[in-house]
Structure 1
Amino acid sequence: MSDRVARVEAFSITIPRDVPYLGALREGEEPNARGYFVRRGNRTVYPTVDRTVLVRIETTSGAVGWGETYGIVAPRATMALVTDLLADFVVGRDPLDAAVVHDDLYDLMRVRGYTGGYYLDALAAIDIALWDLAGKLTGLPLVKLIGGQRRDTIPAYISGLPKPDRAERADLAAQWQDRGFSAFKFASPVADDGVAAELAGLRERLGPGARIACDMHWTHTAEQAIALIRAMEPHGLWFAEAPVNPEDIDGLAHVARSVSTTIAAGEEWRTVYDAVPRVARRACGILQPEMGHKGVTEFMRIAGYAQAHHLEVIPHATIGIGIFLAASLHAAAAAAAVTAHEFQHSIFEPNRRFLVGDMACESGAYTLPTGHGLGVEPSEEAIRILESRA
């Protein structure tokens, strides 16, 4: 293979929103001068806009691969890690060695304890771009390079119901049900009447056949989470996501042992090493790898680890403009343990204009984008609004 990486660039895109992610601001949730606010329900910072970080890698022959990672807050921190530190260690490498490059970059900062956070987000974007290039250079879709295609469509669940009250959220879920979706997830920080009432209202509106999960957003002690999950269980709870603080592994295991509902976790994990202690404690039955935090290489390692331990994989998906979502769908089509995939409709629907490709989510399922590599590219509109590199 004579083609080598010639250039690595990082950009961000900011996309205005009419309503912030998870819905309208509640009392006391006022944006600061930079447009950040804190959701009182989970004490987490969010922007009032959508924002993402893109990585563009070009080879000596002029082939281009695209990657994407989180840019929700402080995107220039991630961009600087790409351009000031990692890029020069990628230039000159063979794009077909994506997993090897990933491990080499991981090792660069291992001794300093950088096993998570923005450093691994930057690695994820580079990893996705290299895998995209590998597909383009070989003339194959990504799914064929990472194990083969097990499924043509991937069952999707509706994630988030960004309406101001419980009745309107149930109405929104029913509208998606009419469009062929049968699985849903609501967010506890905006369930103003409590999670049990929220689930009861959705169950009444959607009927007994709908699967309904609750994202608990890491905000509870183990005992609090157990009480809330038990209160929801009479209404038919599909799974409970992120019930305790992410660092509380023993608490997560205690919750899993104490309820009959399956516990889901893994959005915030960066590598398979995060999965190992939690799986060892049987702390979750569903693993939720987020491509934007992990990249293709670590996503597939986590999925394989889940399969070896007879656990489900239901990938998380924040989306951005859709580059890392496309990578997630390829990985989901290849991984044996995948049973469903998150559909962030409030981001996917308005932001799809920034992407070229036939990726779609209709009638309850995703269809894989076709073409070489990821099968998607930033649109001309996206290219025009790329913000200056760090």
Structure 2
Amino acid sequence: MQIQTIEVFSFKFDHHYRLGGHTESPNRFPGTDYYFEPQWKHAYSRLTESCLVKITTNTGLVGWGEAQSPLVPEVPATLISKLMGPAILGLDPTDTDFIYDRLYHLSHARGHTTSYTIDAITGIDLALWDIKGKAENKPVNQLLGRVVNHRLPLYVSGLRRPELADRELLAKEKIAEGFKGVKIFIGAGAKETLREIEAIRTAIGPDAELAFDAICRHDYATALQIGSGLDQLNAMWFEAPIEPEDIAGHAKLANNIKTPIAIGEPLRTVREFEPWLALDAMQIAQPDIVRCGITGGQRIINKVTEKGLKVSPHIGICTAIGVAATWHVTSVLENATSQEHQLDMFETANKVLDTPLQVESGKAIVPVGAGLGISVNEDFVKKNSSETWMVSL
């Protein structure tokens, strides 16, 4: 079996992520769909964007993958169509480790070892695992190991309502529906942040899981103040408290608060996780499978579990292709925490599938079909893609 054709889609669907619960797009960059969120330093899009990959073999098997790219999906798409795709034509699609390493080393000596480069590799990697499962007529999780859980406990990621009272009500409703907890994003200072976290804790009760993601906003002193408050509120974790380059700062913070530090979204490879592990700068690892791939993700998971860390795969802005891949990986983890669930994104994410992924009573139902266990609505993908590319033998 050989890789015969690779198609790449710059997917852009008219749905706003609304990180802070608002409907506007403030500080929008001229001529683009991108803008600054009011309380954060980072750019977002008023659309749901991603880079989707379809690989077809000479035997007719088809696999779908996704390179998570909430901004400019044309970048990984270009890397795949101009460089990576041609580099793997004719290869055995089931040799996932070999292909991952081949693609990684294409620009390794030039310093392109993270960011969009690994995102592009991920799009290919997920599609190859989809093919690999179909070739063996097994779900991907059965290829990864013993399936621990076919129904994954979920926590709601973000309470995307503009007013605190509405966020408290939503949190309370979701816990009543069976979700294990919530993770909140607050871009304010320490005092206001702790006030809201305390309000959410009161709303959901003392036993529900409560995590806080600062999205790399704070300096060390502010993070320490918030972390000390989280200690008193029995927080599940403190995610991305300070700049992701400051590994020593995270290690210092981890040594001075009881709440576990969770990191992973900015990182792509096992090499990037290694210095964090060396300094004990995280207690919960959050590899994002739609950014590091299943192959890369397995390497990260193996390394962090050797250190005895818990694993909580991250899910950000992506389609149900990436969600399905993540659920397969999570389902075989012995030490997994609850799985992240993007409540306001889920309906949109499912639009790329003929049959949507299912969540019941706060639990994700892992697909059981061969490969990723999904059927992609290619007409919908094409209709909502601004550009498409194809490479073939």
**CA apart distance, 1:116:** 0.6
Deviation string for 1:114-159 (max 9, x for gaps)? 1111011000010000110011111111011122312222221100
Match of 1:94 in 2: 92
- Is contact 2:190-2:222 (8 Å) kept? no
Q: Is the 8 A contact 1:319 1:348 kept in 2?
A: no
1:303 aligns with 2:295: no
Is residue 83 of structure 2 the alignment partner of residue 85 of structure 1? yes
Matched residue type, 2:309: L
1:37 aligns with 2:35: yes
Letter in 2 for 1:385: N
Q: 1:235 deviation in Å? A: 2.5
1:348 aligned to which of 322, 340, 346: 346
Q: Which letter does structure 2 place at the counterpart of 1:389?
A: T
1:186 deviation in Å?
0.2
- In the other structure, the counterpart of 2:274 is 276
1:213 to 200, 211, 216: 211
**1:16-50 deviations in whole A, cap 9, x for unaligned?**
12663442157954464312111232210000111
After superposition, the Cα gap between the structure-2 partners of 1:229 and 1:352, relative to the gap in structure 1 and judged at 3 Å, is: same
Tell me, in whole angstroms, the C-alpha distance in 1 between the residues paired with 2:25 and 2:147: 47
Partners of 2:24 and 2:256 in 1: how far apart?
33
Distance of 1:21 and 1:14 partners within structure 2? 17
Matched residue, 1:257 = 255
TM-score by length of 1: 0.95
- What's the secondary structure of 1:9's corresponding residue? strand
User: Identity of paired residues, percent?
Assistant: 30
Q: Residue in 1 aligned with 2:242?
A: 244
The 1:36–1:295 alpha-carbon spacing in structure 2 relative to 1, beyond 3 Å, is same
- CA-to-aligned-CA distance 1:58-106 (integer Å, 9 cap, x gap): 0011211000012311111110000001011111010110111001110
Deviations 1:168-219 (A, max 9, x none): 1111111212211131100022789721011111112111121111001111
Q: Is residue 17–residue 344 contact of structure 2 (8 Å, CA) maintained in 1? A: no
CA change 1:191–1:166 in 2 (3 A) is farther
Q: Which runs of 5 or more residues in structure 2 are unaligned?
A: none
Matches of 1:255 and 1:377, distance apart in 2: 44
Counterpart position of 2:175: 177
Separation in structure 1 between the aligned mates of residue 15 and residue 267 of structure 2, nearest angstrom: 27
Return the offset for 1:357.
Answer: 4.0
Q: Does 231-240 or 320-329 show the bigger shift?
A: 231-240
3-state SS in 2 of match to 1:388: strand
Shift of residue 298, structure 1, vs aligned partner: 0.9
Distance 1:200 1:207, change over 3 A: same
Contact residue 313 and residue 340 of structure 1 kept, 8 A: no
Counterpart-to-counterpart distance in 2, 1:11 and 1:27: 25
Match of 1:56 in 2: 54
- Give the equivalent residue in structure 2 for 1:200: 198
Map 1:118-157 onto structure 2 (within 5 A): 118-157=116-155
Alignment of 1:382 onto 2:390: no
Distance in 1 between the 2:108 and 2:27 partners?
38
Judged with a 3 Å threshold, the aligned counterparts in structure 2 of structure 1 residues 19 and 31 are, in CA distance, closer, same or farther, namely farther
**Kept in 2: contact 1:312–1:339 (CA 8 A):** yes
Q: Quote the residue 2:368 is aligned against.
A: 370
1:303–1:337 CA contact under 8 A, matched in 2: no
Q: 1:247 to 1:253 in 2, by over 3 A?
A: same
TM superposition shift of 1:286: 0.3
- Cα contact 2:16–2:48 (8 A) shared by 1: no
Q: Which residue of 2 aligns with 1:230?
A: 228
**Matching of residues 104-119 of structure 1 within 5 Å:** 104-119=102-117
Aligned-partner SS, 1:14: strand
1:384 Cα deviation (Å)? 3.5
Give the number of aligned pairs: 388
Change (3 A) 1:61 1:5: same
Give distance in 1, aligned partners of 2:356 and 2:189. Answer: 34
User: Could you tell me which residue of structure 2 aligns to residue 289 of structure 1?
Assistant: 287
Q: CA RMSD in A?
A: 1.9
1:190–1:95 distance in 2 versus 1, CA, 3 Å: farther
Q: Distance in 1 between matches of 2:104 and 2:226?
A: 39
Determine helix, strand or coil for the equivalent of 2:178. Answer: coil
Alpha-carbon distance in structure 2 between the residues aligned to 1:352 and 1:247: 34
Structure 1: runs of 5+ lacking an equivalent? none
CA distance in 2, matches of 1:295, 1:126: 8
> Aligned partners of 2:241 and 2:384: how far apart in 1?
38
Q: Tell me, in whole angstroms, the C-alpha distance in 1 between the residues paired with 2:189 and 2:80.
A: 38
**In 2, are the aligned partners of 1:39 and 1:189 still within 8 Å (CA)?**
no
The aligned residue for residue 74 of structure 2 is: 76
Q: Judging changes above 3 Å, is the alpha-carbon distance between structure 1 residues 21 and 31 closer, same or farther for their aligned structure 2 residues? A: farther
Distance 1:28 1:124, change over 3 A: closer
Q: 1:209 to 1:25 in 2, by over 3 A?
A: same
User: How has the CA–CA distance of structure 1 residues 193 and 47 changed in structure 2, closer, same or farther, with 3 Å as cutoff?
Assistant: farther
Flag the 1:385–1:25 CA change in 2: closer, same or farther, 3 A. Answer: closer
- The separation in 2 between residues aligned to 1:311 and 1:178, in whole angstroms, is 29
- In the alignment, the residues of structure 2 paired with residue 83 and residue 44 of structure 1 have an alpha-carbon distance, to the nearest angstrom, of 28
Which one-letter code corresponds to 1:386 in the other structure? S
Q: 1:153-164 maps to which residues of 2 (within 5 A)?
A: 153-164=151-162
- Cα deviations across residues 251-306 of structure 1 (Å, max 9, x unaligned)? 01011001010110011111111111101111111000101110000111111112
SS at 2:242 equivalent: coil
